[in-house]
């Protein structure tokens, strides 16, 4: 397999499963009301209890308008959830965390607001609720609402995240315009991109900082890091999502030009199979990179994947980056390179490396450090940049 195909395999590993397959306990919000404006709340209602968080006093399913991130113009409806912490709000209202989730799938039934969250994410988000933050959690454009989900499109994820914050601030939820962006894996990339788009797209939001764990860095994909071409590899599920989303957005992308006859049945399932089941299907089918791809996946989909990059590495507000030293989904070397590049561009990065931890294990372990970072940026305190190779070992 070519170096480009290996790059594509690593590139695809941008998120972990954060939800289980969708349940039927809560029907989706009605789809018939048009979105009135970007950042405007369309409707809200109580979120089904099985989709909630233990630390929330109230939880709402929300729908709001957002700018179409595929075209950069026009309004689309986007769904999500809002969680209000327990206790008495501070003067001025609860500060807000904008949560950006990892890969869940590309079909509407995979939307996080329609599913119970993973044990890892429930624990993590409950930690933030316990710190006194409300959490607005976008599903991203096209997940849970009409239209294709532009998987890994950083502009679409950023617009969805920023408009979710504007929507709930405009509602009667008792929130303050004091915002922290938080994301894991694909969502870490979304949070970083959101911080880059915020100044121009949503200048009225008071974004204090960003917390990112397992962040991807496509500019530093290590050649040959994808592993054994003959080994059954669940990461192929991510590549099938990329192919399916690309064809939905632009039919010129012909999956049969890249995928083998053996892989095409799984491609056909990718549009509506959530990631946990997709992992299982890939393994059951015995898919390897050798028996899945006819040609260079990366080269074929490179034009679509350019939308996954960051708009800038020069971020105006501080950023916490937590990296597992044993992370192979978004390798630690990739994350280190991003820290160095962002620091060189003038961003203030507080980097932490966690020995012995993988992609998922870093999420909750990093909270002891990120909560202190969050307290500092919310208080307007200066963050000391840690741009040396490897950052802090924690």
pLDDT tens per residue across span 72-118 = 999 999 999 999 999 999 999 999 999 999 999 999 999 999 999 99
Query: Is residue 143 scored above 70 in pLDDT?
Result: yes
Average pLDDT over residues 140-153: 93
Contact 295, 257 (CB under 8 A): yes
d(CA 77, CA 139): 11
- Does the pLDDT at position 23 exceed 60? no
Q: What is the pTM of this model?
A: 0.90
Give me the mean pLDDT over the 255-268 stretch.
97
Name the strand (E) or helix (H) holding 210: strand 207-213
65 by DSSP, 3-state: which?
Answer: strand
Query: Is-contact 139 49, C-beta < 8 A?
Result: no
CB contact at 8 A, 362 and 354:
yes
CB 266 within 8 A of CB 282: yes
CA–CA distance from 303 to each of 51, 157, 161, 186, 222 (Å)?
36, 18, 24, 19, 20
What is the spatial distance between Cα 8 and Cα 78, in angstroms, rounded to a whole number? 28
- pLDDT tens-place string over residues 211-251: 999 998 877 654 434 456 889 988 899 899 999 999 999 99
pLDDT of residue 6 exceeding 50, the answer is: no
Q: Please report which residue ranges of the chain form alpha helices under DSSP H.
A: 3-12, 119-130, 154-169, 186-201, 236-249, 264-270, 275-284, 289-292, 297-305, 332-344, 362-365, 367-378
What does the pLDDT read at residue 220? 66
Q: Residue 261: pLDDT above 90?
A: yes
Bridge partners, 58 (sequence order): 84
User: Distance between CA 142 and CA 249 in Å, rounded?
Assistant: 11
Q: How do residues 318-377 score in pLDDT, each as one tens digit?
A: 999 999 999 988 889 989 999 999 999 999 999 999 999 999 999 999 999 999 999 999
Beta carbons within 8 Å of 40's beta carbon, 6+ residues apart: 64, 65, 166, 167, 170
204-218 burial, b if ≥16 CB within 10 A, otherwise e? ebebbbbbbbbbbbb
- In this predicted structure, the answer to whether residue 28 has a pLDDT above a threshold of 80 is no
Rounded to the nearest 10 degrees, the angle between the axes of helix 275-284 and helix 236-249 is 120
Find out whether 44 and 63 touch, Cβ atoms under 8 Å: yes
Contact 159, 197 (CB under 8 A): yes
For domain 41-218+310-393, the CATH superfamily is: Alpha/Beta hydrolase fold, catalytic domain (3.40.50.1820)
As a whole number of angstroms, the distance between CA 328 and CA 265 comes to 27
- Residue-level pLDDT at 286: 97
272-321 per-position pLDDT tens digit:
999 999 999 999 999 999 999 999 998 899 888 888 889 999 999 999 99
Q: Mapping DSSP to helix (H, G, I), strand (E, B) and coil, where does residue 351 land?
A: strand
- Each residue of 37-72: pLDDT tens digit? 999 999 999 999 999 999 999 999 999 999 999 999
Cα–Cα dist 356/184, whole Å = 18
pLDDT, position 29: 54
| 198 DSSP assignment | H
The confidence score (pLDDT) of residue 305 equals 84
Which residue did the predictor score with more confidence, 180 or 23? 180
Contact 238, 354 (CB under 8 A): no
Give me the chain's average pLDDT, please: 89
Q: Cα(366)–Cα(128) distance, rounded to whole angstroms? A: 12
Round to whole Å and give the CA distance between 28 and 109: 9
DSSP 140: -
């Amino acid at each position: 397999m070519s170096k480009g195909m290996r790059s594509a395999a690593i590139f695809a590993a941008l998120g972990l499963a954060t939800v289980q397959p969708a349940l039927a306990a809560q029907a989706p919000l009605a789809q018939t009301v048009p979105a009135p404006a970007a950042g405007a709340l369309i409707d809200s209602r109580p979120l089904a209890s099985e989709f909630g968080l233990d630390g929330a006093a109230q939880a709402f399913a929300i729908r709001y308008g957002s700018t179409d991130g595929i075209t950069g113009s026009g309004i689309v409806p986007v769904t999500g959830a809002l969680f209000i912490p327990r206790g008495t709000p501070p003067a001025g209202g609860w500060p807000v965390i904008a949560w950006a989730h990892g890969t869940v799938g590309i079909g509407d039934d995979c939307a996080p607001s329609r599913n119970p969250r993973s044990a890892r994410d429930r624990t993590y988000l409950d930690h933030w609720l316990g710190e006194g933050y409300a959490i607005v959690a976008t599903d991203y454009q096209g997940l849970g609402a009409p239209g294709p989900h532009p998987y890994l499109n950083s502009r679409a994820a950023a617009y969805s995240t920023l408009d979710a914050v504007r929507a709930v601030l405009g509602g009667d939820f008792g929130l303050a315009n004091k915002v922290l962006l938080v994301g894991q894996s694909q969502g870490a990339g979304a949070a970083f991109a959101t911080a880059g788009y915020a100044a121009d797209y949503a200048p009225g939001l008071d974004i204090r900082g960003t917390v990112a764990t397992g962040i991807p860095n496509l500019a530093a994909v290590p050649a040959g890091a994808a592993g054994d071409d003959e080994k059954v590899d669940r990461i192929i599920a991510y590549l099938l999502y990329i192919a399916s989303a690309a064809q939905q957005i632009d039919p010129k992308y012909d999956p049969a030009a890249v995928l083998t006859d053996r892989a095409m049945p799984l491609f056909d399932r990718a549009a509506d199979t959530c990631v946990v089941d997709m992992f299982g299907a890939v393994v059951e089918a015995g898919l390897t990179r050798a028996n899945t791809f006819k040609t260079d996946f990366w080269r074929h989909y490179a034009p679509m994947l350019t939308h996954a990059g960051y708009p800038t590495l020069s971020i105006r507000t501080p950023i916490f980056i937590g990296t597992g030293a044993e992370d192979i989904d978004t390798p630690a070397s990739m994350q280190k390179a991003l820290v160095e590049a962002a620091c060189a561009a003038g961003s203030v990065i507080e980097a932490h490396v966690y020995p012995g931890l993988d992609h998922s294990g870093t999420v909750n372990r990093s909270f002891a450090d990120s909560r202190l970072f969050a307290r500092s940026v919310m208080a307007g305190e200066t963050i000391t940049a840690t741009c040396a190779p490897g950052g802090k070992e924690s």
